[in-house]
Amino acid sequence: MKTRHFLASLAILGALVLPSSCSKGIDTDETVSMNTDSEELKSGTIPATCILTGTIADVPIPACTITGTITETETAGLLFMREEEKMARDVYTYLYDKYKLPVFKNITKSENAHMSAVLRLMAGFKITDNSTNNPGEYKNTRIAEIYNQLITMGNLSVADALKVGVLIEQTDIADLKKELLSVQNTSVKMVYGNLLKGSEAHLKAFTWNLKVRGVVL
The per-residue pLDDT string of the chain (217 residues; one tens digit each, 9 = 90 and over) reads 444 444 455 543 433 332 222 223 222 222 222 232 334 433 444 333 344 333 333 433 445 568 889 999 999 999 999 999 999 999 999 999 999 999 999 999 999 999 988 998 998 899 998 888 899 999 999 999 999 999 999 999 999 999 999 999 999 999 999 999 999 999 999 999 999 999 999 999 999 999 999 998 7
The pLDDT assigned to 33 comes to 27
pLDDT, residue 131, reads: 83
H/E run at residue 61: strand 59-61
The β-bridge partners of 26 are: none
pLDDT at 182: 93
- Which of 10, 2, 202, 205 lies closest to 112, judged by CA? 202
Separation CA 69–CA 75 (nearest Å): 10
Q: Kindly report the pTM of this predicted structure.
A: 0.74
**51: phi then psi, degrees, rounded to nearest 5:** -85, -55
Sketch out the chain's domains with CATH numbers.
49-211 (1.20.1260.10)
Pairwise CA distance, residues 73 & 185, whole Å: 11
